[in-house]
Amino acid sequence: MVYLHWSIYHTAGTCVVSDEVRVRYRSKHEGHDCDVAHLHMRKEQRQHIAGLLAAGIPFEEVLDAIQLDADNAKVSYMHFITKKDLQNVTRDFNIDRNAPIYKNDADSVAAWITRMKETEGSETLVRYIKFQGQEDDSGLKADDFMLILMSEAQLAGLMQFCGPMKQAALDSTHGTNAYDFQLTTLMGIDEHGEGFPCAFCYSNRVDEFAMRIFLRAVTDALGSKLTDVILMTDDTEVFANAWMAEMGPPAHRLLCTWHVDHAWRKNLGRINGDSLLKATVYRTLRSLLEMTDQSEFTSKLQQFLATCQSTNKTAAFGTYFAKEYAARPQLWAYSYRLGLRVHHNMHLEALHRVLKHVHLQGRKVRRMDKSIAGLMRLMRSKMQDRLLKLHKGK
């Protein structure tokens, strides 16, 4: 029996039945390019994965090690593998799956870090670690905790998406673990207009000193500073001061419009009046925010401040607004960011919501290792989505 890679050829005419068989054989595949998304694992790749699984490394971590190492320059079929592929390898190599379980959370995290450093493709994922009770030369206190994560794929994204006049956003979130360690994310915007998380930092404190350590680790991994970026933050000085100290002044520093709007709504309670008066003040603020002519903005801003101070009902709010926002319109007014097309960091807010409500199943997990596992699932999902768009056009 002869096996042929066949192609269909249509020839006009009458079909004649005879004992003669004619075959047109092509030794090379034709019809479409040899895309990585349509290939299969080679023997040596399957053997490499089998070695990782036989060592007791969980499926999630094997996928992390492979997929989080992907960047645009060196994509292979390995970056498209799924749990089903790992299950097939486990079956074919007759591997006994008994991953170690640690009752102590710190021991579990330490074991995970050790496995990552020993696993090909994820050796550099952990950029910095300090456990509580340990001393190091960073200047953190003995009871401080910090874990900085950035894969090679994230590093490649950082270089591509956080360059001069491109957006870099920083924000922190609570609720990813029972210790109330905050998760801080550095994010850029990719060529599809979607948020791309470039680095993560778990820490028990988010102040200027701690964020400087985070950004210093990013700089060390990158080999240079991120210069002339458009820095987007919430309405605090922690991230901006840390960025100035480690990276230098950004090309533009902007406040997230959503955070500004939230702060205004929250402080409408300073107005001693009914809901109609509060709504009028809020609409005026939004009008100021969205004005695109600087001269008109400056004139209307002074009129608004004068009107607020002219009556006791709005004087307290006018004082608050003059102190917090009127003195720095370049951070929040649209008229000062024309052409930048950057107004919010909702990509980052959305990422944190997906982590909490999808990958952590909508609850505050008690263990730190579970939180890290959820974060790795999130990153693997982001990388798979990105690779599919780049190489399958979906």
67 in any annotated domain: no
Residue 176 in any domain: the answer is yes
* pLDDT at position 68: 65
Residue 226 lies in a domain: yes
Mean confidence (pLDDT) of the chain: 85
90 assigned to some structural domain: no
Please say whether the beta carbons of 153 and 376 come within 8 A: no
Structure tokens, 151: 């894969």
Percent of the chain clearing pLDDT 70 (strictly above): 85
Would you place residue 75 in the very low, low, confident or very high pLDDT band (cuts 50, 70, 90)? low
Q: What is the pLDDT of residues 18-52, one digit of tens each?
A: 567 777 766 665 655 555 555 677 888 887 787 77
Q: Tell me: do 230 and 299 sit in the same domain.
A: no
Residues 252 and 227 in one domain: yes
Q: Are residues 280 and 385 in the same domain?
A: no
Residue 192 lies in a domain: yes
Q: Find, among 195, 196, 174, 194, the residue nearest to 184 by Cα.
A: 174
Q: 384 and 278, same structural domain?
A: no
Would you state the pLDDT for residue 10? 41
Q: Which residue range forms the structural domain that includes residue 320?
A: 258-336
Q: Do residues 243 and 373 both lie within one domain?
A: yes
Could you tell me if 252 and 263 lie in one domain? no
In a domain, 366, yes or no: yes
pLDDT in tens, 322-361: 999 999 999 999 999 988 878 777 888 888 888 888 888 7
How many other CB atoms are found less than 10 A from the CB of residue 83? 11
Domain end position, chosen among 320, 336, 352:
336
DSSP string, 268-312: GGGS-S-HHHHHHHHHHHHHHHH---HHHHHHHHHHHHHHHHTSH
State yes or no: pLDDT of 240 exceeds 70: yes
* Within a domain: 302: yes
| Distance between CA atoms of residues 101 and 104, nearest Å | 9
Q: Indicate whether 143 and 199 sit together in one domain.
A: yes
Give the count of beta carbons closer than 10 Å to the beta carbon of residue 391. Answer: 17
For the whole model, what pTM was predicted? Answer: 0.75
Q: Which of 321, 336, 351 is the last residue of a domain?
A: 336
Beta strands in 44-166 (DSSP E): 126-130, 146-149
Q: 132 and 227 share a domain? A: yes
198 and 232 part of one domain: yes
* CA dist., res. 368 & res. 113, Å (int): 12
Residue 205 has pLDDT above 60, yes or no: yes
Q: Are the C-beta atoms of 288 and 304 separated by less than 8 Å?
A: yes
Contact of 344 with 188, CB cutoff 8 Å: no
Angstrom distances, CA of residue 106 to CA of 103, 130, 145, 323, 370: 9, 11, 11, 45, 12
Same structural domain, 247 and 146? yes
Query: In the chain, what is the greatest distance between 2 CA atoms, to the nearest angstrom?
Result: 105
CA distance 203 to 141: 12
Q: Which residues of 186-223 are buried (b: 16+ CB within 10 A; e: fewer)?
A: bbbbbeeeebbbbbbbbbbebebbbbbbbbbbbeebbe
| Domain shared by 242 and 270, yes or no | no
Helix or strand (DSSP H, E) at 168 = strand 167-173
CA distance linking residue 198 with residue 90, whole number of Å: 32
Whether 213 has a pLDDT exceeding 70, the answer reads yes
| Bridge partner residues of 169 (DSSP) | 187, 232
Give the residue from 289, 320, 336 where a domain finishes.
336
**pLDDT attached to residue 101:** 59
Q: How many domains does the chain have?
A: 2
- 163, 283: one domain: no
3-state secondary structure of 162: coil
What's residue 1's pLDDT? Answer: 43
As a whole number of angstroms, the distance between CA 331 and CA 234 comes to 11
